[in-house]
Amino acid sequence: MLHHIWETLFSSKEYAPWLIFGGLVIRFIVGGNRFARRGAGGLQHFSSYPVALFVRFFEFIASVAGLILIVKGGLQLIL
């Protein structure tokens, strides 16, 4: 069942704009959160080191996932 949904979503050109939009939304949210944490000196401020590691790792994964969605949607529109 999940394989069928995956193939339908990633093989049809009609879903390409939604993939691009979803990827842009993810990257926009991650970028907005990074911007909101910046202080006057331009550095990101966290409450503790473990929180910083977890948040930055999660943001990295989300950002890469968003980039993959954008690239996949763009390739579906082109090809």
Range of the domain at 11: 2-78
Quote the number of domains for the chain. 1
* pTM, to two decimals: 0.82
Q: How confident is the model at residue 64 (pLDDT cuts 50, 70, 90)?
A: very high
**Residue 71 corresponds to which amino acid?**
V
Three-state SS at 38: strand
Whole-Å CA distances, 12 to 2, 28, 37, 77:
16, 25, 38, 9
Helix (H, G, I), strand (E, B) or coil at 44: strand
pLDDT digits (tens, 9 = 90+) for 7-18: 776 667 888 899
Q: Which of 12, 8, 5 is nearest to 79 (CA)?
A: 12
Helices 49-78 and 16-36 sit at what angle, rounded to 10 degrees?
150
Residues 19-51: tens digit of each pLDDT: 999 999 999 999 999 999 999 999 999 999 999
pLDDT over 70 at 66, yes or no: yes
